[in-house]
């Protein structure tokens, strides 16, 4: 049995991935609203967020 199996009382993989996706979306939303950084989304795989601090 794996560590992410239901037999040991851990959430199923789909639920973990759903939570991670929502956490990443929330982080990107916060970064998007932050006027102290310049933000870019690079189309690599599922997307790579780059943030550069403004002077």
Rounded average pLDDT over 26-55 = 90
33 pLDDT band (50/70/90 cuts)?
A: very high
Mean pLDDT for the stretch of residues 21-27: 87
Q: Show the tokens assigned to 50.
A: 């780059």
C-alpha torsion 46→25→51→45, nearest 10: 0
CA 55, CA 35: separation in Å to the nearest integer? 11
**Whole-number pLDDT of residue 8:** 55
Sequence length of the chain is: 55
More confident residue, 15 or 24: 24
Dihedral angle, C-alpha 46, 19, 51, 32, nearest 10 ° = 110
pLDDT of residue 52: 94
Rounded to whole angstroms, the Cα distance separating 26 from 23 reads 5
Question: Does residue 46 surpass a pLDDT of 60?
Answer: yes
pTM of the predicted model over 0.85: no
């Amino acid at each position: 049995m794996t560590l992410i199996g239901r037999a040991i009382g851990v959430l199923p993989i789909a639920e973990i991935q759903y939570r991670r996706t929502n956490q990443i979306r929330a982080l990107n939303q916060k970064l998007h609203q932050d006027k102290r950084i310049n933000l870019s989304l690079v189309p690599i795989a599922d997307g790579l967020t780059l943030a550069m601090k403004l002077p």
